[in-house]
Amino acid sequence: MQFGIVAILISILGSYFFYFIADNDRCVKIFSFLGINKTVNSNIFDNTIDKHHGAWLRLYISEEKIIYTGELVYVNEHEGENNYYIVLKNYKRSMYDRAIDKTYQGNKNWVIISTEKVNRIEIIHGDNSSKINDVEKNKIKKIINFFKKFLPIKK
């Protein structure tokens, strides 16, 4: 009986511990170096948005031919899979062919957009974003591996 309780406690604490290890940025980099690119995140935004430096988004709503560009505040999943609310602040609206707003609305004005009618999302990261640095490092590794594979250098 005691063994069963101890086993249950160890499994609960172990899974909790391994979740935080897998979600840690340093561990993700180690896993990526080892060729393990799976994440524990449930949606694509957690994998593509830099949590520390933030990001700007450009949302294209094709039915209305409107583009929203603004600073990402929050993303929340609603009504099932792959359907989100995106909250932007300091946003600007424009049509596909002309500007609606001449300037950004400021930090006091926010907009909530459902991704149901959005057909494309562009993510704009700053130069200090860890996501951009990770992508650049992976590109360099792939180029080096390509040359190592097809153009072996003899010593």
Establish if 25 belongs to a structural domain. yes
Establish if 144 belongs to a structural domain. no
Is residue 34 packed enough to be buried (19+ CB in 10 Å), middle (13-18) or exposed (0-12)?
A: exposed
Residues 71 and 16 both lie in one domain = no
CATH number of the domain where residue 75 is located: 2.30.30.100
State CA 38 to chain mean position distance: 13
Residues 67 and 77 both lie in one domain = yes
Q: What is the DSSP letter of 115?
A: T
User: Tens digit of pLDDT for each residue in 43-97?
Assistant: 777 777 777 788 889 999 988 889 999 999 888 877 666 688 899 998 888 888 8
DSSP assignments along 53-79, one per residue: T--EEEEEETTTTEEEEEEEEEEEE-S
Residues 21 and 35 both lie in one domain = yes
Residues 54 and 113 both lie in one domain = yes
User: Tens digit of pLDDT for each residue in 16-48?
Assistant: 787 777 667 677 677 777 777 666 666 777 777
| CB-CB neighbours of 111 under 10 Å | 15
Cα distance between residue 35 and residue 87, in whole Å: 34
Cα distance between residue 66 and residue 95, in whole Å: 4
Q: Record the pTM.
A: 0.63
Residues 48 and 67 both lie in one domain = yes
For residue 10, what is the enclosing H or E element?
helix 2-23
Cα distance between residue 146 and residue 70, in whole Å: 38
Instruction: Provide the domain count of the chain.
Output: 2
